[in-house]
Structure 1
Amino acid sequence: MADAAEWSSGLSFTSSYVSNGTSPDAAPPPVAAVEPTPSLEVVSLTRLSCNLERLLLVDTDLDCSDADIMVESAPVGIHRCILAARSKFFHDLFARDAKVCAEGVVKKAKRPQYKMSELVPYGHVGTEAFMLFLSYVYTGKLKPYPPEVSQCVDGMCAHDACRPAVNFVVELMYASSVFQVSELVSLFQRRLITFVEKACVACVEDIIPILLVAYHSQLNQLLSDCIQRIARSNLDLVTLDKELPPEVAAEIKDLRKKSQAVELDVSIVDPIHEKRVTRIHRALDSDDVALVELLLTESNVTLDDANALHYAAMYCDSKVVAEILELGLANVNLKNARGYTPLHVAAMRRELAVIMSLLEKGASALETTDDGQNAVSICRRLTRAKDYYAKREKGQETNKDRLCIDVLEREMMRNPISVEDSVTSPLLADDLHMKLLYLENRVAFARLFFPTEAKLAMHMAHTEKTLEFAGLTASKSFGNLREVDLNETPIMQNKRLRSRVDALARTVELGRRYFPNCSEVLDKFLEDDQPDLFYLQTGTPDEQKMKKMRFSELKTDFQKAFTKDKAVNGRSGLSSSSSSTSSLKRDLKQQNTVKKRSPKSSNTIRVSNVCLVDMEE
């Protein structure tokens, strides 16, 4: 979960030493600890901040806003006096408009209206990002990022650097930079630098939006970090030329040539070959498949040599992709130099028509990239929770990202080749073990802090039908290890692990859907806390005492989050007495395939084969 910084208010502390006529050098008498008392100034500022925040509430009877900014085709009410006082950009904008109206050049409108697309010429600023920006401008405090727009729907993702998390901070950076709020620019630049550091080789595409916002906002340090990171990656030359500013792409190519650290595209080995491939790509850009056929007959370059199907799947219209497939000259499961098939590329683009065209021509949804990602996992990692779980009104089209995921998931279930057969290499097996360990720990902690709801989610996901994973870090001292079957083949083991991963991932998805605030606390805990926090039988007595204190704090955080989740479900159409649990139970009843059973309660929860003792002792 993205960290949200707040302006910390100064507090005045009462002195524990009171003069009693003794010598100044004498030791002060012992005085009981006194709780710090906030100063009157701090109390006043806090109250003012809360009062100003009420101006942003849209469900109040009184609307004091005096202008609108159109964001994603919807008006957002603003108060010009506040924005003008906090932002030089808005001060100059409103002053210029007032001068134009005073001179009679433009007839004064009853309520000024501005378009976000005109205020922010580069990039995109969505409603949630702009509302969070406004909240900071009004109150001086930055709220936590809304999980529905800053988290993906991949149950095995920690959401610390996935594409929705990156995109949301990028939107905030565009707003902060254009509207000239320097303290936010500094904060979000540090956050984006962290994203760049966390990005793995396979997710180097996630750095592109960060590079673009750094380029347009003239953030030199961030831009330099992005350029260095991409120069060390295996990002292909076509992507550099298509998606980056020309001078930035040229700088990255120069760095690669100087360092010799990254091998350039091996399919382009001479200028003549490069020229022919470029002609094919330009013909595809022009939607001229007939010209592509002509270029193929005039040279010895094939569609596969030029990765033409990959190029079309990413940059061309779906009709062009269909026409290229009709030629029957391209391998639909060909992997490029980065280990991506055309279906992987189409999943990154999330264009349903392109995905369906590839599947109809035999593209395999089970093919994995070098880091073990298939088309569905790629698509899920790029999709926001808001788009995936959005309720569709009658007559309204389903979100295209949700449709892409549904189509790919159905294809994987329909394919006669078993999913586990696609996980055979030791590298992918290790990756599967790590994902499974993360999910086991996450679900175990969820069962610890809200057991009834977690058990319901596990029941809906059929988790009880899969075998529990012993864990990579399990040791003999903790016991309870699952017996090893020496007759189990690697394929059988992968099948067992994969079924457990799918069930746990579904459990996590249900938790995010019905308990978003609890899931947010859990994400933060798994990201920040030390891995041995709950190894309660180890460490000194002082360390164990600190662990118990941390556990108590965590229980309080979960209780607050759980209360918020119940309140949200109450406002979303349930009765005031209803909770997230009742909503989850209602969905459970709708699953006819799930048999009723009452799981036995347990006083201990095992996390990676660690038995948690009762913290209340």
Structure 2
Amino acid sequence: MANSSDPSSCLSFTSSPHISNASINPNSSASDPPPTPELLTNLSSNLGRLLADSGGDYSDAEITVEGVPVAVHRCILASRSEFFAELFRRENGDSEKEGKPKYCMSDLLPFGHVGYEAFLVFLSFVYTAKVRDFPVEVSSCVHNVCGHEACRPAIEFALELMCASSVFGMPDLVSILQRQLIDFVVKALADDIIPILVVAFHCQLSQLIDQCIERVAHSDLDSISLEKTLPDEVVEKIKILRRNSQHCCDPNMPAVDPLREKRIRRIHKALDSDDVELMKLLLTESDVTLDEANALHYAAAYCDPKVVAEVLGLGLADVNLRDSRGYTVLHIAMMRKEPSIIILLLSNGARASEPTLEGESAVSICRRLTRPKDYHTKTERGQEANKDRICIDVLEREMQRNPMAGEASISSQITPNDLHMRLLKLENRVAFARLLFPAEAKLAMAISQADTTPEFAGISSLKGSSGNLMEVDLNETPTVQNKRLLSRLESLVKTVSMGRHYFPHCSEVLDKFLQVDLPDLCVLETGTTDEQKIKRRRFLELKEEVQKAFDKDKADKNLSGLSSSSSSLPPKKVGRKSKG
């Protein structure tokens, strides 16, 4: 609450019967009766209308949150929060000489994240002293059997509110949220305790920190993941608690081999440095294998997708191996929610239906981590699709369909003219896919490594330009040139195949576009006036078809009949390592 010694703090919201009239009216005597709960409720309601009233704008500042400007009233924020009182005294924001002062939320926070919806709830408490219901679209998940009592979105929304309350100095709301988070610690999965512990540490919430440390110390979370995500002093407390607990339970428990642990950590550090060659050298110098170091699990959790691809390319790791907690690499990738890694694993033999030891599938893991806002938000034409949604889509389609059939090999004896024509056709297809479905096309190209090969010729050649179709490098022999073009062709074929497999409806629209409409539509300005009008109208219709197909791709993945059966499958026998 605001400091009562500050003369600007004339507002006090409390239901305590000991409130003094002097806090409302400085001219009143101490013998005057305190304000009734009804008066305080009316005051709260009246101030709350400032947030909801769309008929007039009485605000005098803006705070931009996640790109959305939020109108605020400096007098109210300054009277309730010493942080804002000092901010408004110190500066007028980043606005021009005229107009409202403007601030950016990310510039105000020393740690953590506060989203748009969380800030609105925080503002509501500042204005009314009441905690309103959390918005379901950002405080629940899209898992079809979750009660949302302690799923990750519910936790993260409470943590966003805690960051705002702690940084902006609202101790009453901090106290309310700390009680809720302590309840989450009891109910949540061990992995979901980590973000709570991080925020509790930054906010110096000793009671919540102790509760989290106790829970984590008795969980199966490994030391490596704790060291990657938690402050050193917190990790040390957890380790001490674990050592004491293990000694009491089993004093004869064998000690961990420090030399072997050191070798594993060196392999992980090589992965952190994106140095796969160093990792290979470390493997040859020790008796630790990739699987024993859980190197693929580690790369999927913390490394760049290109590093994951390189580790998979060695052919030395079992893509369906379970770690000490019973998680496969795909389970770990779904917790990270990185689509390119997920597709990489699937294309290298990862089993999408493989359950955890608790019977949870990879897609159910991702659903438990995804907010309805992110899952149901409509993607406008040409916009990047939400990563969470893509992860779920890819896994659900993989569970419903047969594995993708292998592509026929491309003959190195293909004639130059045929090679040029095939390249031109594929380049155009991929170019239009990148234009209409940027996120999906980017994923398919990255997995197929098409972005690492030089482009051949694209849409430009359709407009009469030869592009680089017949360009000749005098220093390049025909054999080298053919090898380069074949490499590009193979990458594009794989890109198109990925698109057909994971986004079939959009691929159908692209087929129709390239076969029927493209020859006419790419020259919209030719022909008579009526013909041009027809072409433009057809182009707009086609754009609508593309959007409908994209929406159909998103909607055509109902796993209501799959979820129960797939989650009840017994753990499968771990497959053998693939050999290079």
Whether TM-score is above 0.5 comes out as yes
Q: Secondary structure at the match of 2:70?
A: strand
1:153 to 133, 142, 147: 142
Q: Which amino acid aligns with 1:90?
A: F
Aligned equivalent of 1:291: 278
**Residue 251 of structure 1: aligned partner:** 237
Aligned pair 1:77/2:66, yes or no? no
Give 1:370 shift: 1.3
Structure 2 match to 1:66? 60
Structure 1 residue 57, shift from structure 2 partner: 3.3
Q: Residue type matched to 1:49 in 2?
A: S
Q: 1:311 to 1:93 in 2, by over 3 A?
A: same
How far 1:111 sits from its partner (Å)?
A: 2.4
The aligned residue for residue 123 of structure 2 is 134
- Report what 1:45 is aligned to: 40
**Mapping of residues 603-614 of structure 1, within 5 Å:** none
Opposite residue 212 of structure 1, the aligned amino acid is V
Change (3 A) 1:279 1:198: same
What residue is the counterpart of 2:102 in the other structure? 113
CA distance in 2, matches of 1:158, 1:398: 27
Query: What amino acid sits opposite 1:65 in the alignment?
Result: S
1:95 Cα offset (Å): 1.8
Report the TM-score when normalising by structure 2: 0.61
Q: How many residues align?
A: 377
The reply on whether 1:219 has 2:205 as its aligned counterpart is yes
Question: Closer, same or farther in 2 for the Cα pair 1:10/1:280, shift >3 Å?
Answer: closer
Gaps in structure 2 of 5+ consecutive residues: 1-12, 18-33, 404-551, 559-580
Structure 1 equivalent of residue 177 of structure 2: 188
CA distance in 1, matches of 2:68, 2:254: 48
| CA drift at 1:72 | 1.0
| Alignment equivalent of 2:366, drawn from 355, 361, 379 | 379
| Cα distance between partner residues in 2 of 1:262 and 1:347 | 34
- Aligned pairs for 1:107-506 (under 5 A) are 110-199=99-188, 203-260=189-246, 269-415=256-402
Counterparts of 2:100 and 2:312, CA distance in 1: 53
Cα distance, 1:53 vs. partner? 2.0
What displacement does 1:44 show? 4.0
AA of the residue aligned to 1:292 = M
Q: Which amino acid aligns with 1:360?
A: S
The residue aligned with 1:518 is: none
Which range is displaced more, 354-363 or 266-275? 266-275
Instruction: State the alpha-carbon separation in 2 of the partners of residues 272 and 413 from structure 1.
Output: 45
Question: Deviation digits for residues 215-273 of structure 1, max 9, x if unmatched?
Answer: 00100000010001100111001111100001100110111011107999x99931211
**Partner residue of 2:86?**
92
CA distance in structure 2 between the partners assigned to 1:167 and 1:370 by the alignment: 25
Unaligned regions of 5+ residues in structure 1, if any?
Answer: 1-6, 12-38, 417-586, 594-617
User: Over aligned residues, Cα RMSD in angstroms?
Assistant: 2.8
Q: Which moved more, 1:135-144 or 1:240-249?
A: 135-144
Shift of 1:40: 8.8
Distance in structure 2 (CA, Å) of the matches to 1:338 and 1:278: 18
Per-residue CA distance 1:557-576 (angstroms, 9 max, x = gap):
xxxxxxxxxxxxxxxxxxxx
Letter in 1 for 2:52: L
CA separation of 1:140/1:286 partners in 2, compared to 1, >3 Å: closer, same or farther? Answer: same
Distance 2:38 2:386 in 1: 46
1:54 aligns with 2:43: no
SS in 2 for 1:75: strand
Displacement of 1:48: 3.1
Q: 1:141 to 1:66 in 2, by over 3 A?
A: same
CA contact (8 A) 1:149 1:164 kept: yes
**Separation in 1 of the partners of 2:90 and 2:350?**
57
How far did 1:131 drift? 0.3
Q: Distance in 2 between matches of 1:388 and 1:318?
A: 23
Alpha-carbon separation, structure 2, partners of 1:267 and 1:313: 30
CA 1:218/1:10 → structure 2, altered by over 3 Å: closer, same or farther?
closer
Is the Cα contact below 8 Å between 1:232 and 1:262 reproduced in 2? no
Cα distance change on mapping 1:220 and 1:108 into 2, 3 Å = farther
In 2, Cα distance between the equivalents of 1:323 and 1:267? 35
Question: Cα 1:262–1:173, aligned 2, differ >3 Å: closer, same or farther?
Answer: farther
Distance (whole Å) between structure 1 residues aligned to residue 226 and residue 302 of structure 2: 13
Q: Note the C-alpha offset of 1:213.
A: 1.1
Instruction: After TM superposition, give the deviation of residue 87 of structure 1 in Å.
Output: 1.0
Match of 2:536 in 1: none
TM-score of the two chains, using structure 1 as the length reference:
0.58
**Cα separation, 2, equivalents of 1:196 and 1:345:** 21
Distance 2:301 2:82 in 1: 40
Q: Displacement, 1:94?
A: 1.3
Q: Secondary structure at the match of 1:68?
A: strand
**Residue aligning to 2:506:** none
Would the alpha carbon gap of residues 380 and 263 (structure 1) be closer, same or farther in structure 2, given more than 3 Å must change? farther
Percent of pairs identical after alignment?
A: 59
